[in-house]
Amino acid sequence: MIIPTYNEKDNLDELVQRIFRSLSSSGPGPEIVIIDDNSPDGTGARADELAKTHNIKVLHRSGKLGLSSAVMEGFAAASGDILVVMDADLSHPPEKIPEMARQIADGKAEMVVGSRHVPGGSIENWPFYRKLVSKGATLLARPLTKVKDPMSGFFAIKRSVVEGVKLDPVGYKIGLEILVKGKYSNVVEVPIHFANRKAGQSKLGGAVMLRYIDHVTTLYEHKRFWLAKYLKFAFIGGIGAVINLLVLWTSVEVFNVYYLWAAVLAFVIADTNNFIWNRLWTFKSKGKIRFQYPQFLLVSADGLMLNLIILWALVEQILPDLGLPQDRASFYIVIAQVIAIFLVSIFNFIANSLWTFGEDVRRGK
Ligand SMILES: Nc1nc2c(ncn2[C@@H]2O[C@H](COP(=O)(O)OP(=O)(O)OP(=O)(O)O)[C@@H](O)[C@H]2O)c(=O)[nH]1
Ligand SMILES: [Mg+2]
């Protein structure tokens, strides 16, 4: 058990009791590693006291050096093969530890997350603001992992998951860091009820939020899959454009179709092609086609609207202001359309990533 503490003196006794009680019947019993950052309230001394009668190691650090680095030092100091990280403030139910550890012991997973966002999980009445922040933060992490509650501070791992892995202690969310960088093939979520902290004060603040954004963007770069996926998406889009022109030309020239109907037909055929290849290749999706196909068409139709708006804005407003020669009207339009297509492709890519093929993105593949 890895437990970072900063000013948690009033929670420590109950926490330790509940941990030992929940694990008393299973195996050799737990080892607790408490990493205290010289808490002014005397948490460290209380931990030393408890260590006299329980299997507890206490690491004293010189000052508040941060949550993630505390957890990492805890990993290094722990002697077990299954490592469980939890907060000291009794938000996380110690009674769930056996269930989480068992998943690992039975080989069902190498990482287990105590989750508030799977069926059976819940959160004790949070104020609207905190819910909003948590929701936003979870959304930001969505492209990185399939896990529904990647923000959870309550998780268990097999030691091999982090062995030899270079973890970066920038963030507050060491669980997310491990989900992205750790070596595992299976992760499962066990539902938990998240209680409000029993005693003491939260260490969350504005700076934590900014550091989180920094952390998440670093993890995006670490994954680098956005760029790779976007390039696939753009490549397929390019082929789609050629198909569009071919269908348009053939319909009008060979079959005498009214050109606007031909354009609609060209759009649908080209976009169907794009859908098929993006589903198979870019997003490797196994989702339901009857939902995804109309979603994809709808995103493309919105993209077309956006294209017209951006094109208009560039031709009428933005490019003339840059002082380009006015007499080359068609040159203007082509330049503007190149920019518009680029922006629309990003819009389409993001909308399809998060919405049409959202499930797959969450799976992190
Ligand atoms: N060693 C160490 N522990 C920390 C540090 N910051 C937070 N902690 C501990 O990490 C755990 C999570 O911190 P909390 O303040 O509970 O953060 P939270 O759960 O997001 O917010 P609240 O539950 O509302 O307080 C608690 O056990 C804290 O005592 C730190 O800098 N060093
Ligand atoms: Mg807490």
Report DSSP letters for 64-127, one per residue: ---HHHHHHHHHHH---SEEEE--SSS-S-GGGHHHHHHHHHTTS-SEEEEESSSTT-EE----
Q: What's the 103 CA to ligand 2 centre distance in angstroms?
A: 24
Q: How far apart are CA 180 and CA 162, in angstroms?
A: 11
* Domain ranges (residues) in the chain: 2-223, 226-362
The whole-model pTM stands at: 0.68
2-223 fold: Spore Coat Polysaccharide Biosynthesis Protein SpsA; Chain A (3.90.550)
Best mutation site among 46, 87, 149, 192 for ligand 1, i.e. most ligand atoms within 8 A of its Cβ?
87
Share of the chain above pLDDT 90, in %: 67
| 204 pLDDT higher than 80 | no
Using only the alpha carbons of the chain, give its radius of gyration: 27
Give the span between the Cα atoms of 230 and 238, in whole angstroms.
12
Residue 21 C-alpha to ligand 1 middle, in angstroms?
A: 23
Spatial distance between the Cα atoms of 325 and 322, rounded to a whole number of angstroms: 9
Two tokens at 266?
Answer: 């060209």
287-314: average pLDDT: 93
Atom of ligand 1 nearest to the CA of 200: 25
DSSP 314: I
Residues 85-94: pLDDT tens digits?
999 999 999 9
Q: Is the pLDDT of residue 52 over 50?
A: yes
Find, among 69, 100, 72, 68, the residue nearest to 84 by Cα: 100
Kindly give the number of the ligand 1 atom that is closest to the alpha carbon of 7.
29
**Nearest bound ligand to the CA of residue 59:** 1
Running DSSP on this structure, what letter comes out for residue 142?
G
The yes-or-no verdict on residue 16 having pLDDT over 70 is yes
For residue range 98-141, what is the model confidence (pLDDT) as tens digits? 999 999 999 999 999 999 999 999 999 888 888 888 899 999 89
Q: How far is the CA of 67 from the centre of ligand 1 (A)?
A: 7
Ligand 2 centroid distance, CA of 153 (Å): 8
Residues in the ligand 1 pocket, defined by CB under 6 Å: 4-6, 8, 35-37, 64, 66-67, 70, 87-89, 91, 153, 197, 202-204
